[in-house]
Amino acid sequence: MTSINHINDFNHFFAAQTLHPQVSVVELSHADESMYEAKVYDMYALMLIEELQGELHRDGKPMSHSRGSLVTIRPGQSLEIRMENGAKPQGWMLAFRQDLLEKTGLGRDFYMFSYFHSDYPEAIALTEVEHGVIRNCFANLCAELHTQQDYLSGQMIRLGIGTLLSYVKRYFEQQHTCNPMRTETWVGKLDTLLTKYMGSGLPAQHGQPSVTWCATKLGLSPGYFSDLIKKELHITAQEYIRSKVIAHAQVLLRQTNMTINEIAEELGFRYPNHFTRMFHKATGYPPLKYRKGN
């Protein structure tokens, strides 16, 4: 699979002049057809879809999309467009290298844009008004890149990218994290996932569920999953998982005659004393005393 490592490489597929060594803004319709084959990006990218007849795949997984939707790409991810009827996609694409962020205000604040590490199988949907806002951001960046450089050029480009990414953050959160129903949906899925796993006997073979395992099962990156848990539930992802392990332990202590060692093994603890310490810390009671009290 071809990798796009430099802005020159990126511009080559669009027959575009390199106006800045770390940043490029191009129109999708100008791309050579080879650009639509699967490629790994060694940079951040953001694609605004205005028209796309075909399938979109990120990291080999299909993504749902529509007119006026946004697709984010982080370094190391691949993107592929499978066109129908040879119709070229319409829209804009921004690419910028990680070294643009070094020792800058944009780099300092980049932690805010954690949506680059989400792996939802759907593009960020935009209303007509939001689509217009994002399109203007692309146009402003393109205009700045074509303006004769002066001492303000670097700052203006970074401000333009920061503004665009901030709008994307707003629209992403409206779609994924600010809707109570959506929050209930993913929390419910996580609860079901953990409950089924803890009761399956698999922890004894494979160990307790990890943050990475949960995130992968929900189609998220571990970092984004952790951020989401912290924001919505106000605890760490590890604390949330531990609470589910303890809850299942309480059920086993109340409803079965399993020994403490058997319960520890069932829950994926390598050593029973680790289970006893965790349970005591979480509930205020050693497992045997909890069982007698219930």
**For residue range 232-249, what is the model confidence (pLDDT) as tens digits?**
788 889 999 999 899 889
Environment class of 280 (CB within 10 Å of its CB; exposed 0-12, middle 13-18, buried 19+): middle
Residue 189 has pLDDT above 90, yes or no: no
Mean pLDDT score of the chain, rounded to an integer? Answer: 88
Distance between CA 99 and CA 27 in Å, rounded?
23
Q: Which residues contact 26 (CB under 8 A, 6 or more apart)?
A: 10, 11, 14, 16, 92, 93, 95
Which pLDDT tens digit goes with each residue over 7-25?
999 999 998 999 999 999 9
Between 73-77, 89-93, 114-118, 283-287, the lowest mean confidence (pLDDT) is in 114-118
Domains and CATH numbers, the chain: 2-176 (2.60.120.280), 180-293 (1.10.10.60)
pLDDT of residue 145: 94
Which pLDDT tens digit goes with each residue over 80-130?
988 877 778 889 999 999 999 988 888 888 888 888 888 788 899 898 899
> How many Cα neighbours within 13 Å face the side chain of 132?
3
pLDDT of residue 161: 95
Query: In the structure, what pLDDT confidence band is assigned to residue 163 with cuts at 50, 70 and 90?
Result: very high
Query: In the structure, what pLDDT confidence band is assigned to residue 294 with cuts at 50, 70 and 90?
Result: low
Mean pLDDT to the nearest integer, 155-182: 82
pLDDT of residue 162: 94
Residue 144 has pLDDT above 90, yes or no: yes
Between 177-181, 201-205, 211-215, the lowest mean confidence (pLDDT) is in 177-181
Distance between CA 204 and CA 266 in Å, rounded?
5
pLDDT of residue 48: 94
Percent of the chain with pLDDT over 70: 97
Residue 182 has pLDDT above 90, yes or no: no
Residue 178 has pLDDT above 60, yes or no: no
Query: In the structure, what pLDDT confidence band is assigned to residue 226 with cuts at 50, 70 and 90?
Result: confident
pLDDT of residue 180: 42
Which pLDDT tens digit goes with each residue over 146-160?
999 899 999 999 999
Residue 165 has pLDDT above 90, yes or no: yes
Query: In the structure, what pLDDT confidence band is assigned to residue 181 with cuts at 50, 70 and 90?
Result: very low
Percent of the chain with pLDDT over 90: 41
Distance between CA 111 and CA 13 in Å, rounded?
30
Which pLDDT tens digit goes with each residue over 22-34?
999 999 989 888 8
8 A C-beta contact, residue 218 and residue 190: yes
Identify each DSSP E strand in 97-219 by its residue range: 124-125
